[in-house]
Amino acid sequence: MGQLITLIAFGYCIDFSMSLLDWVAPDTLFWQWFDCILSTIILALGVFLCIRAKIFVAAGEGIVLVISFISKIRFSIIKNCFDCTLVAISLAISFMHFGAMRGVDVGTIAAAILVGRWIQLYSNRLHIFDKWSILE
């Protein structure tokens, strides 16, 4: 029940954020990559804080938390592996069904690689949140 409420709130936050940012339309490759990297930094901070605060998390982060807890491997490493695995599965399905890369682009691949790395950086640098930690 907690995850359902969390996902509904998360969905409304995404819709609200999208309405605030509808004017953002990066027109050059530089600004597209800038926005992509900035979004991974913000996403990773949100995931890091949710994990540290021990609140309900989305199902994707929940399974990563469980795997990390059971395996005693850092959350950020499992997050990287999990995200990259999902992207690889998406690419495989895309190529099987369409014969081309659809729905997954370089920004998605970059996000799969970078979010876990940013979480690791936050874990190493933001020690003020260490007292909240259940992992790492």
Q: List, for residues 9-42, the tens digit of each pLDDT value.
A: 878 888 888 888 888 888 899 999 999 999 999 9
More confident residue, 131 or 106: 106
Categorize the per-residue pLDDT at 136 as very low, low, confident or very high, splitting at 50, 70 and 90. Answer: very low
Q: How far is CA 54 from the centre of its chain?
A: 17
- The proportion of the chain whose per-residue pLDDT surpasses 90, expressed as a percent, equals 53
Categorize the per-residue pLDDT at 134 as very low, low, confident or very high, splitting at 50, 70 and 90. Answer: low
3-state secondary structure 7-71: HHHHHHHHHHHHHHCCCCCCCCHHHHHHHHHHHHHHHHHHHHHHHHHCCCCCHHHHHHHHHHHHH
Q: Give 35's Cβ-side CA count (13 Å radius).
A: 12
> What is the average pLDDT value for the chain, to the nearest integer?
88
Residue 132: predicted pLDDT? 61
Cα–Cα–Cα angle for 59, 61, 62, nearest 5°? Answer: 60
- Res. 77: pLDDT tops 80: yes
